[in-house]
Structure 1
C-alpha cells in the first residue's frame, strides 16, 4: 500500500492510500484514528481493519496521521486543527478520484467525533461509520440536523465511552427527519473491540455499507 505525503494546514500529513486498480469511479472513504495524545495513530487496529474492510468492498481508501503523529507535521490542537487535517485529507482523496460517485467517512473514538464534524462541513459525504463515539467526552450537539444516514457502533462493555451516552446520542439523532441512523451494539465488546469482537464489528460494517451501496445503485 503506497505511503503518501500530502499538504495539510500545518505542513505535511502522512497517510496510506489504497486505490482500486482500474476502477475510475470507485467510491472513496477516509478513516480517522483515535486520540493523538493517548497513542492513537493510523495504524491502530480498529482503523487498520476498517481501512481494509472498506477496500474489500470496492472503495479507494485513505487513512492518515493527524498533526503531530508519526511523520505528520504540527502539534495537537484540541480537535480544531485535526478537523482541518481531515478536510485536507478529503481534499487530497477527492483530487485523486474526481469521478467517485460516493464519499464516506469512518472514524474510531476521537476520530468518530472528528468524522461527524467533517460530515457537517462537507455535503458530498453520503454515509458515515462512527465506531465507539466518545459522547461522554465531547459535545455532539453540532449534529443539528445530521446531514447523512450512517452507522453507529459500540460495545456493551465499553468503559471509555459508556453505552448509555452513546444511546443518548443515537436517540437525539433518531429524532431528525430525512435520515436513518442505524445503531448496532456488540455484546461483550470493549472500546477497542479486542478479539473475539473485532470480526463481528467489521462484519456489521460490511453488511451495512454494502446494503447502502446497493440501495443507491437501484
Structure 2
C-alpha cells in the first residue's frame, strides 16, 4: 500500500493508495473524520471501508485533509477540505482514466464532505456514509441526492442522535430512483469502538448487493 503525495489547493496532500490489477477497475475515495478531533486517514472505520473496496478489486485512495499528518495547510471549516477531496478524486481519476465506476465513502465529518462531493461530481455512482453528523452540519444540499448508497449509524452514538440521521434517511429515501440502505448497528458508539468488524460485515454485505454479486478477495 504505497504512500502517495498529491498536489492540493493548500499544498501537499498525503495519501495511501492501492492500485487494482484488473483492467478498467472501479475506483473508491475514502474520507477521514474531523481533523480537529483526532481524525486521520488511518482511522479504523476509514480503513475498514478502504479494505472492503480494495478486496473487491477497486483502486482505492484514502488521504489526510489539510493540516493532518504530512498534509500541508490548516483546517478550513469544511470548505478547504471539500477542495482537498476534489483534488484527491482528480488524482485518482488521472491514474484510472478508464475506471468502470466511482464510489465515495466517509466517516462522520468525512461523510458530510463526501456527500457534498457527491453533489458536485456526477461520475460518482454510489456512496457509503458512516455516522453522518446530521445534527451538526447542514445536509440540505442533497436536493435531490444524485446516487443511492448506504448509511450506517450506531444505536449508542452519543454524539449524533439517531433521530437526526433517521430524518436524513427519510428525506433521501423519498427521492425518485434513490435507494438508501440504512443499517443501525446495535451497541455501537459514534466511533464504532470494538465494532469495526461488525461494521465491515455491513459494508461487505451492502457492496455485494450493490455490485450485483459477491466479488472474490484480491491479494493485497
Question: When the two structures are superposed, what TM-score results if normalisation uses the length of structure 1?
Answer: 0.96
Q: 1:5-34 CA distances to partner (integer Å, 9 max, x unpaired)?
A: 01101111000011112x121110010000
Task: Indicate the structure whose relative CO is greater, using CA pairs within 8 Å and at least 6 residues apart.
Answer: 2
Aligned-partner Cα distance in 2 for 1:164–1:118: 24
Match of 1:8 in 2: 8
Aligned-partner Cα distance in 2 for 1:31–1:95: 17
Contact map agreement 2:44 2:196 (CA 8 A) in 1: no
Task: Count matched residues.
Answer: 213
Matched residue of 1:151: which SS?
Answer: strand
Q: CA deviation at 1:178?
A: 1.3
Q: 1:122-173 CA distances to partner (integer Å, 9 max, x unpaired)?
A: 0000000000000010000000000000000000000111111100111111
Aligned-partner Cα distance in 2 for 1:120–1:24: 27
Aligned-partner Cα distance in 2 for 1:143–1:6: 28
RMSD across aligned positions (CA): 0.9
Q: How does 1:148-167 map to 2 (within 5 A)?
A: 148-167=147-166
Contact map agreement 1:103 1:124 (CA 8 A) in 2: yes
Contact map agreement 1:20 1:60 (CA 8 A) in 2: yes
Question: When the two structures are superposed, what TM-score results if normalisation uses the length of structure 2?
Answer: 0.95
Match of 1:208 in 2: 206
Give runs of ≥4 in structure 1 deviating > 4 Å.
Answer: none
Contact map agreement 1:42 1:64 (CA 8 A) in 2: yes
Structure 1 residue runs without a partner (length 5+): none
Q: 1:102-128 CA distances to partner (integer Å, 9 max, x unpaired)?
A: 100000000000000000000000000
Matched residue of 1:134: which SS?
Answer: coil
Q: 1:63-84 CA distances to partner (integer Å, 9 max, x unpaired)?
A: 0000010111111000000000
